[in-house]
Amino acid sequence: MNDRLDHPAEDGQSDLIRWKTDAWQDPRMVNWYSGRMVVSESTNSLKNALEIGAIRRFASGPEIIDIGVGTGRAALPLVADGYRVTGIDSSQAMLDETRRLAAGAPISLKVGDVAALPFGDSTFDCAVALNVLVHFPNWRESLLEWKRVVRPGGRMVFDIHSLDHAHAAYGTDESRWPAPLKRTQTKGDFTHYMSRVSVDELVEFANATGLTIVAAAPYGAFLGGGNVNWLSYAELDATQRWKRVLSWFARDQALFDLGYFLEETVVRHLTPRVTGRMFVVFDNRPDAQANARFAADVAARDAALDQRDFAALQPWLPYSREQFAAELGKLLKPLRSRHFFFGLFKTLVTRMPGFDFRGVLAPEVLGQFHAWLEHEQIDQRATNIARGWAAGAPFRFKDGIDVSVGTEYHLVKALLETHFGIFDGGRQ
């Protein structure tokens, strides 16, 4: 397949597209994917809520095509909202599953390819695609085909990975990216490849093809798994501790509520620099001036982010600082929620020293977080001291086995208890 607009097919691109398409023909994949809709694991339900919320917010009707409909995750809620929905997918097995899950609800389903839709020009008011373009390097070619079937003035809504986010985290020189990020950009690595796009590329595409960009809304700042937040990767996502914290989302409603609140009141009002994933909305009409205003607004939000102060972002946020602080205060009452938020707080204060949390976090929470930060530093220092002692100890190896690890635990405990007085949490 050729990627139009001066982006010729690269080596391996067609193989990647074929592989991504064929993978979903397997009924076992369909079963696995369908199960994810009902089994709540880790942050799945948060991802689901955010994605379906965005699709419902941005879609316009009455005639909608859901491209790569899969098991109808986007299409069925839209049917429930009263839209007339047509789902297309290259996998008949997926369409069969959607038909089953629809349980008699009216939806039209057809086999078709994302880049060659079996419909005439201007058939639909809106095209939506959820978790589809993220797989395809030929996003431009697909979008041109979607534009063809959407009427003039209609709309296209889809999610894709954010190149600006990867750049914000690790710079524009991809050779310097860490291996787990690099492999997601490697077209030959079929399982890990992710399609990443920058706001500049989206605006350029809109101008070149007669579209108006309406949104590039970031989401999923702490979903983990395949949606790593690269800005906090080293401190959070790469650690087992954080994976465990995220796993609590599946069972802890209070934690879910906190995550959802942060996404809805902060994350989605920022820019694609802050998360690995975004929703993009194009209207099918040319408006170069609107596209220029959009680009300027993204630049203004980025500049506000750089100021490291809630007040600078205020013009774009739905809540005042006081309202936000009051809601956050309630959501931070459960200890698990507070522990999760502490992870984010720690990353922010490390990544953006000087970020002003005053007025956003209650003084007692802020005080506790600073105490926890101090405890972690003491803990690390005590561990280093204990490791240093054991390194030179004559008893370190017994029958060839390093026994210093057990000693280390007791040394750290003794240091924290007697010297720093923080082992039992007595000091706040």
Ligand X SMILES: C[S@@+](CC[C@H](N)C(=O)[O-])C[C@H]1O[C@@H](n2cnc3c(N)ncnc32)[C@H](O)[C@@H]1O
Report the interface residues with ligand X, using CB under 6 A.
20-21, 24, 68-71, 73-74, 89-91, 94, 113-114, 130-132
Residue 66 or 310: the one with the smaller Cβ distance to ligand X is: 66
Q: What residues form DSSP beta bridges with 156?
A: 127, 282
- Strand-pair partners of 110: 88
Please identify, using beta-carbon distances, which residue of 81 and 306 lies nearer to ligand X.
Answer: 81
**For tokens 């706040």, what's the residue?**
428
Q: Which is nearer to ligand X, 71 or 337 (CB)?
A: 71
Please state, in angstroms and rounded to a whole number, the distance separating the CA atoms of residues 80 and 102: 10
CB nearer to ligand X: pick between 21 and 227: 21
Q: How far apart are the C-alpha atoms of 357 and 137, rounded to whole Å?
A: 40
What b/e string do you get for 40-60 counting C-beta neighbours within 10 Å, with b at 16 or more? Answer: eebbbbbbeebbbbbbeebbb
State how far the Cα of 72 lies from the Cα of 52, in Å rounded to an integer: 11
The distance of closest approach from Cβ of residue 51 to ligand X in the complex, given in angstroms and rounded to an integer, is 7
Sign of the dihedral defined by the CA atoms of residues 247, 250, 256, 259, in that order:
positive
Q: How are beta strands 277-283 and 212-219 bridged, if at all? A: antiparallel
Cβ within 8 Å of residue 315, ≥6 positions away: 304
Token couple for 178: 């860490």
Q: Which two tokens stand for residue 261?
A: 């609140």
How is 312-343 classified by DSSP, letter by letter?
HHGGG-SS-HHHHHHHHHHHT-SHHHHHHHHH
Q: Shortest Cβ distance from residue 190 to ligand X (Å)?
A: 12
* Pick from 292, 287, 165, 144: nearest CA to 217: 165
Q: Are 183 and 244 in contact (CB under 8 A)?
A: no
Please identify, using beta-carbon distances, which residue of 133 and 163 lies nearer to ligand X. Answer: 133
Residue 116 Cβ vs ligand X, minimum distance, rounded to whole Å: 8
* Shortest-Cβ-distance residue relative to ligand X: 70
Of the pair 88, 266, the CB lying nearest ligand X is at: 88
- Nearest distance, CB of residue 299 and ligand X, angstroms: 31
Q: Which is nearer to ligand X, 24 or 282 (CB)?
A: 24
Longest dimension (CA), the chain: 81
State the nearest-atom distance from the C-beta of 69 to ligand X, in Å.
6
Cβ closest to ligand X, residue 73 vs residue 268? 73
Minimum Å distance from CB 11 to ligand X? 19
CB of 90 to ligand X, least distance (A): 4
- 91 vs 271, which CB is nearer to ligand X? 91
Measure the CA–CA gap between 31 and 65, rounded to whole angstroms.
23
Provide, rounded to whole angstroms, the least separation between the CB of residue 53 and ligand X.
Answer: 13
Q: Supply the minimum distance, in Å, between the C-beta of residue 162 and ligand X.
A: 18
Please, which residue, 24 or 310, has the CB nearer to ligand X? 24
Q: Closest distance between ligand X and the C-beta of residue 154, in Å?
A: 19
Identity of residue 148: R
Number of Cα atoms under 13 Å in the Cβ half of residue 184: 21
List, as one string, the DSSP characters of 38-103. HS--TTHHHHHHHHHHHHHHH---SEEEEET-TTTTTHHHHHHTT-EEEEEES-HHHHHHHHHHHT
Task: Confirm if 2 and 9 have CB atoms less than 8 A apart.
Answer: yes
What is the nearest approach in angstroms of ligand X to the Cβ of residue 20? 6
Q: Please, which residue, 65 or 412, has the CB nearer to ligand X?
A: 65
